[in-house]
Amino acid sequence: MSEYKTIKEACYRANMKLPELGLVVYTFGNVSCVDRENGAFAIKPSGVPYEDLSPEDMVIVDFENNILEGTMRPSSDTRTHAYLYKTWKDIGSIVHTHATYSVAWAQAQMDIPIFGTTHADHLTCDIPCAPPMKDEYIRGNYEHMTGKQIVDCFGEKGLSHTEVEMVLLGNHGPFAWGKNADKAVYNSKVLEELARMAYLTLQINPSAPRLKETLIQKHYNRKHGKDAYYGQ
C-alpha cells in the first residue's frame, strides 16, 4: 500500500469539493496536499474531469517536480504548487481554481478592496492581485515562475502568507492555501464570495470607502488574535 495513501485521499476529497462548491466546471482547477515528512505532495492529474477521479489517480510529486508515484501526468500547474511548498514551509495544501468572480478581478488586474467585516474576519488587507508576469518568465519555466511571481508579490507588499492565505494572479485567477486541504478549499470559497461582494459593492456605490482600521482589527482579532473568542 502506498505510503502516500493519506494525502492522496485528502487531495481527492478536496478536489471533489470544488465542483460541489461551484468553484469549477469541467477540468478547471486543482488541489494539492503536502506530506512534509516525505517532502512530496499529492496533486490532481491534468485534464481529468472531476466525476472521473478516484483517490488512486492523485499523482505524487516531490518539490523538484519529480513524479514519485502515479500513472497519470500531474496538473500542468504542478510546478507552481512545488515552488510554493518549497518556499512556504508551513502550508499544507494549495487550491487553484478559475472561479468566476475571482477571475474577473484577476482579469481586471485589481486588488480586491477590504469593504466589510466578512473580509476582515479572514484577512486585514486588500486581497492582492499579482501583476501579470514578465515575458521572459512566461517564455521560460512558466509554472515555476508563476510560483515565484506570487511569492515576490507577497515580498513587495510586505504580506505574510500565514495571515493572507489567498492571492489573485493577474489575468489568470485565484490561488489559496492553508494548513490543510479543508482550510485551503475554505479559503478558495471565501475568496470567491469576497470577490462577489466587493464587485456588487462597487456597482452600488463606486466610491464605497475601505473598511476602517478599528473594525478591521476588531474582526480579525476576535477570530485570529491572541484573545480570539470566535469558534470552539
Q: Which residues are catalytic?
A: 121, 230
* Piece in contact with a second copy (CB under 8 A), picked from 8-16, 81-89, 156-164, 169-177: 169-177
The answer to the question of residue 125 lying near a second copy (CB under 8 A) is no
Q: How far apart are CA 158 and CA 194, in angstroms?
A: 22
109: region left, alpha or beta (phi > 0 left; psi from -120 to 50 alpha) = left
| Minimum separation from the CB atom of position 129 to a second copy (A) | 11
**CA dihedral for 152, 158, 91, 108, sign (positive or negative):** negative
Contact of 195 with 173, CB cutoff 8 Å: no
Q: How far apart are CA 209 and CA 135, in angstroms?
A: 35
| Minimum separation from the CB atom of position 144 to a second copy (A) | 13
Task: Please report, as a single letter, which amino acid is at residue 185.
Answer: V
Q: How many residues bind a second copy (CB under 8 A)?
A: 62
Residue of the chain from 53, 110, 131, 141 that contacts a second copy (CB under 8 A): 110
Q: Which residues, 30 to 49, sit near a second copy by CB under 8 A?
A: 45-48
Adjacent-strand bridge partners of 177: 94
Q: How far apart are CA 99 and CA 18, in angstroms?
A: 9
Interaction site with a second copy (CB under 8 A): 25-28, 45-48, 72-73, 76, 98, 100-101, 103-110, 115-118, 132-133, 135, 138-139, 142, 171-173, 186, 189-190, 193, 196-205, 208-209, 211-212, 214-215, 218, 222-223, 229-232
